[in-house]
Amino acid sequence: MAEMGIYETMRTLRAVRRLRPDPIPDDVLHRVLEAATWAPTGGNVQPWRIVVVKDRALKEPLGKLYNQRWIAYSKQYRGAIPASAPAEVRARAERTLAAGDYLGAHFGETPVIATFCFNPKNMAITDSKQDRVSVVGGGSVYTAVENLLLACRAEGLGCVLTTLLCECEPEVRKLLSIPDSWYTAAAIPIGYPVGRGHGPLIRRPVEQLTYLDTWGKQILK
């Protein structure tokens, strides 16, 4: 297939939640996994591993765990949509929820679930003593996640970053025989899209997300 430009790949990397159960060729899957290994990490330690789950006997219980948490989460999400929101915004939210419902119902049928694990002992978590949620450790894991997502896009595969299974980490670790020193960071369902799949994104513009020199100072176009 023709190789995509990096900007086009990023610009069209949608969260694709409707995936076909068709198998992914081994060479395609290997390229996607190799792309993850190219990601930068602190000290080039690569304190992450991926459990590539293809066995249906493992995917089905993972799917049940995921769907239970999705049902609870989606109720909160629906309740948070303001009644005064414009019709277009509400319709977009309902489409997202419908796609999430589909993924929840079919999570266990996904051809591949890439479960990212990490070992905090191999990370320089420089914000661990701050009086807030620590996030720095994720910088040595989610770079690899993003590389994998971009590679999936380039290969025509659908994918989406999910973290709901982290809520039931003990069960996931037992199912996948993850050692005691390793924990879960994300589960990426991967498969060929049911429909259109990826496409143009809806995001806030640069001017709303960035500042020049100091917080709140507008950056000009």
Give DSSP secondary structure letters for 109-149: G-SEEEEEEE-GGGS--TTTTSSS---GGGGGTHHHHHHHH
Overall average pLDDT of the 63-78 stretch: 94
Whole-model pTM over 0.85: yes
Report which residue type is found at 37. T
**Which residue in 114, 159, 164 sits closest to 13, CA to CA?**
159
Checking if the pLDDT of 128 tops 80, the result is yes
Q: What is the pLDDT of residue 1?
A: 55
Confidence of residue 175 (pLDDT cuts 50, 70, 90): very high
Overall average pLDDT of the 9-24 stretch: 96
> In the predicted model, what is the mean pLDDT of the chain?
94
Overall average pLDDT of the 127-155 stretch: 97
Q: Residue 76 and residue 92: Cα distance in Å, rounded?
A: 16
Around Cβ 119, how many Cβ atoms within 10 Å? 18
Domains of the chain (ranges, CATH numbers): 6-209 (3.40.109.10)
Express as a percent the part of the chain with pLDDT over 90.
82
Strands (E), the chain: 48-53, 112-118, 158-159, 183-191
Structure tokens of 131?
């009086």
Overall average pLDDT of the 48-71 stretch: 98
Q: What is the pLDDT of residue 70?
A: 97
